[in-house]
Amino acid sequence: MLLSGGQDSAICLAWALARFARVETVGFDYGQRHRAELAAREDLRREIAGLGADWRARLGPDTRLDAGVLAAVGANALTADLPIGTGPDGLPTTFVPGRNLLFFTLAAALAHGRGLRHLVGGMCETDFSGYPDCRDDTLKSLQVSLNLGMNARFVIDTPLMWLDKAESWGLAERLGGPALVEIIRRRSLSCYRGETGRMHEWGPGCGTCPACELRARGWAAYRAGRP
């Protein structure tokens, strides 16, 4: 389970704990400006697993890997002090080229040595920032390449791929009730600036970066849709 410390991966951790007998988590330090998300991971693991004895028993160890090479090979607004916006190629300046490709490759290598078959990530192309490595076609292609290259039968699971942010909150509620929603709201950090000092109705963040705006809209739509 690729656990970043953000909203989407936190929901996917609950999804994995509800389905698999053993779940290990992996996080990546790639020199991100919002590295405060890494500090959120342990609280998320502990509190989500604490929602039930079954989930607590299923949660295995956590691994944190150094992926700092991503910051060394190219400048972007998540690994350097650059403006957050849209680049001349039409992609968000927060796009980190190769990030999800590298993350899944490293996760697969880790899983290969531990006899784990499923690789779970919170990628989505329904209500997202426009990153090409979050697309379903990209990850299906990567699954084929990983299986060929490692002589394995990995399955890349992306339970949020076709859900918008409001629907993702709804999935969290179905998985763990209001208690899970509250843990994810309080503990997860999606803000590109890594702002933890401001708490909004929808959780911590600066409130103005694209990730915060997306999260705020999704939370408002989720709350509006509740009876």
Q: Which two tokens stand for residue 160?
A: 């949020």
**60 occurs within a structural domain:** yes
Q: Which residue has the higher pLDDT, 7 or 77?
A: 7
Would residue 221 count as lying in a domain? no
Q: Which tokens in the block code for residue 134?
A: 């979050």
Lowest mean pLDDT among 28-37, 112-121, 144-153, 171-180: 28-37
pLDDT given for residue 190 in this prediction: 94
Q: Indicate whether 200 belongs to any domain.
A: no
The reported pLDDT for the residue numbered 215 is: 96
Q: What is the mean pLDDT of residues 138-162?
A: 98
Q: Is residue 198 part of a domain?
A: no
**What domain count does the chain have?**
1
What's the pLDDT score for residue 120? 98
pLDDT at 67 > cutoff 80: yes
Q: Is 133 a residue whose pLDDT tops 60? A: yes
Distances from the Cα of 206 to the Cα of 38, 60, 159, angstroms:
17, 32, 27
Distance CA 109, CA 140 (A): 17
CB 130, CB 92: distance < 8 Å = yes
**Looking at the predicted structure, is the pLDDT value of residue 128 above 80?**
no
Would 216 be classed as within a structural domain? no
- Find the domain containing 27 and state its range: 7-189
Q: What is the pLDDT of residue 226?
A: 63
Where does the pLDDT of residue 154 fall: very low under 50, low under 70, confident under 90, or very high at 90 and above? very high
Q: Which two tokens stand for residue 181?
A: 């929603």
Averaged over 67-88, what is the pLDDT?
88
Predicted local distance difference test score (pLDDT) of residue 227? 45
Residue 5 scores a pLDDT above 50:
yes
- Establish if 112 belongs to a structural domain: yes
For residue 203, is it within any domain?
no
CA distances from 171 to 50, 142, 156, 166 (A): 18, 26, 19, 9
Could you report the per-residue pLDDT of 21-55, keeping only the tens digit for each? Answer: 999 999 999 989 888 999 999 999 999 999 999 99
Closest CA to 107 of 9, 6, 211: 9
Residue 81 forms part of a structural domain: yes
Question: Which pair of structure tokens corresponds to residue 143?
Answer: 């699954």
Provide the CATH number for the domain around residue 184.
Answer: 3.40.50.620
**pLDDT per residue over 88-122, tens digit each?**
888 899 999 999 999 999 999 999 999 999 999 99
Query: For 6-26, b where at least 16 C-beta lie within 10 A, e where not — what string?
Result: bbbbbbbbbbbbeebeebbbb
User: What percent of the chain is modeled with pLDDT above 70?
Assistant: 99
